[in-house]
Structure 1
Amino acid sequence: MSTLAKPREVASGYRAGRTLPLGVELVRQLKRRRTMVMFGILAALPVVLLVAFQIGGGPGPGNGRVSLMDTATASGANFAAVNLFASAGFLLVIPVALFCGDTVASEANWSSLRYLLAAPVPRARLLWSKLVVGLTLSLAAIVLLPVIALAVGTAAYGWGPLELPVGGTMPIGTATQRLAIVAAYIFVSQLVTAGLAFWLSTRTDAPLGAVGGAVGLTIAGNVLDEVTALGDWRAFVPAHWQYAWLDAVQPQLQWNEMIQGVAVSITYALVLFALAFRGFAQKDVVS
């Protein structure tokens, strides 16, 4: 004779979807010292570059070729574009790895992870809240840099059109839209780093290990992309497309390479996020 499974008792008023609200988690992360320090560094970078240009007399063309860097002092829009160009390869990797890699591992390191799950916060809900907040802070960091750079550059060099390296100018309204596209593309391209950091954060109790591992693997991808012997296989390396956004600061906006870069980044990111959720659901949490 079969017996019916006893229904699981749930406290009155308990709703799994209401545990660890996004707003609460966001406030918790914003109050952390590492968040304020990272935003402070990103806000200070445009000022540092401005001082460097003032001391050095501004960039100049080298080898007879004009690059985006050579137009940094032409206008505020150019200064903002140069800040993104100088930061996209490495500096912007760090806040993404920090905000997504430190989030779960830090709870384990503080021995508070098991208490969150005992609240009870469902594991999928906890990861979802952590991931959304981590990506939100990452996006805020990527947007903060060009916004501050545009303000600093405008104060120093004036509000004017974007001077293009290939010649000609772009109206300031169009330039602002293009810079928004650039920031959005950089964020999407950094989703691979976010996925690596978040997955590692669910596998280790050491926040530094998760953050450092994600940064290290991202650097390894950059090195791998430099191996020309790989030929067409480099197209499957996310780093191969990290500067595809340069097509957005051309007279005619080109989408082909950015679309390919977005497809590669999102594919890797979804796989890594899925691995994080799957592994954490089966993990024995003791810290």
Structure 2
Amino acid sequence: MSTTAERPAPARARRALPLSAEIRRQLSRRRTVVVFAVLAALPLVLLAAFWLGSSDATSAQRGFVDLAQDSGANLVVFALFAATGFLLVVVVALFAGDPVPSEASWSSLRYLLTAPVRRERLLRQKLVAAGLFSLAALVFLPVWTLLVGGLAYGWGPYVGPTGDQLAYPLVVARLGVVVVYLALSLSVVGAFAFLLGTLTDAPLAAVGGAVVLWIVCAILDQITALGGLRQALPGHFAFAWADALAPTVDWSGMAQGALWSVGYSVVCVGVATWRFLRKDVTS
């Protein structure tokens, strides 16, 4: 009889902490609102900067910033170019590195694990929610910027630095490729932040640690003496998404960047799971 009475516990553990509850929990967080508010403000800040500045560029080779006012699509590309190096890194690190240590800092982690919630389920729900919010941010930025840029600069074709043009709907499809690549490229940031989040009770340490890793790798990437070793550094192929905006897409850079990032991510998530399953959360 005692064995039969104890059987429902694993079933309750499997049903505890549904993904919808975790998503609602993260939606109610102030940092989620702040992140999307910053992303919403970015294209507006760019419009104000271009309006206040001068447009007297005379260089024969025009870059993303020089072309930003040509159309809404061009403004999207420049916004992504400006955000890839730091802003999007912070966003992904925040969504992935904050959930687990926040529970620990609020002293609710032990409660969740005795609810009961299996440790691997807790990690999976936190990680899936972090991935969904990161992807939502990566989609929101270009979609919102395209709307703002289209209203401000028109709905003309995308004009590349070499003068090549991409008309709608082709440019929208290429921007979709860019978003997918950014999600894969930045997965290493999220995975490392998630790993740090299972090792510390301080959310800022997990988020900051992932951002510092990206910055250090960016510095090392400037050392040409490292040669081919630089390709293994996270962030070396961070801007390879620009190849998706050429008339003929060169997939080599994006393929290498995605493989390195996914490989690092699998290792980081694996270590995080192994460590958390053995961690003493009652101390």
TM-score by length of 1: 0.94
Query: 1:7 Cα deviation (Å)?
Result: 8.6
Counterpart mapping for 1:129-208 below 5 A: 129-208=125-204
Query: 1:13 Cα deviation (Å)?
Result: 8.5
Q: Which runs of 5+ in 2 are unaligned?
A: none
Aligned equivalent of 2:25: 28
Aligned counterpart in structure 1 of residue 218 of structure 2, from 219, 222, 245: 222
Aligned equivalent of 1:245: 241
Kindly report the root-mean-square deviation, in angstroms, between the aligned alpha carbons of the 2 structures.
Answer: 1.6
Amino acid of the residue matched to residue 220 of structure 2? L
Amino acid of the residue matched to residue 53 of structure 2? G
* Alignment of 1:209 onto 2:205: yes
Give secondary structure in 2 for the equivalent of 1:242. Answer: coil
Query: 1:168 Cα deviation (Å)?
Result: 2.6
Aligned equivalent of 1:68: 64
Aligned residues: 281
Indicate if the aligned counterparts of 2:18 and 2:125 stay in contact, CA closer than 8 A. yes
Give secondary structure in 1 for the equivalent of 2:192. Answer: helix
CA distance in 2, matches of 1:279, 1:33: 29
Aligned counterpart in structure 1 of residue 257 of structure 2, from 254, 257, 261: 261
Indicate if the aligned counterparts of 1:61 and 1:70 stay in contact, CA closer than 8 A. no
Amino acid of the residue matched to residue 50 of structure 1? L
Q: Which runs of 5+ in 1 are unaligned?
A: 1-5
CA distance in 2, matches of 1:271, 1:180: 27
Aligned equivalent of 1:3: none
Aligned equivalent of 1:44: 41
CA distance in 1, matches of 2:269, 2:104: 19
Moved over 4 A (4+): none
Indicate if the aligned counterparts of 1:59 and 1:69 stay in contact, CA closer than 8 A. no
TM-score by length of 2: 0.96
Give secondary structure in 1 for the equivalent of 2:6. Answer: coil
Give secondary structure in 2 for the equivalent of 1:49. Answer: helix
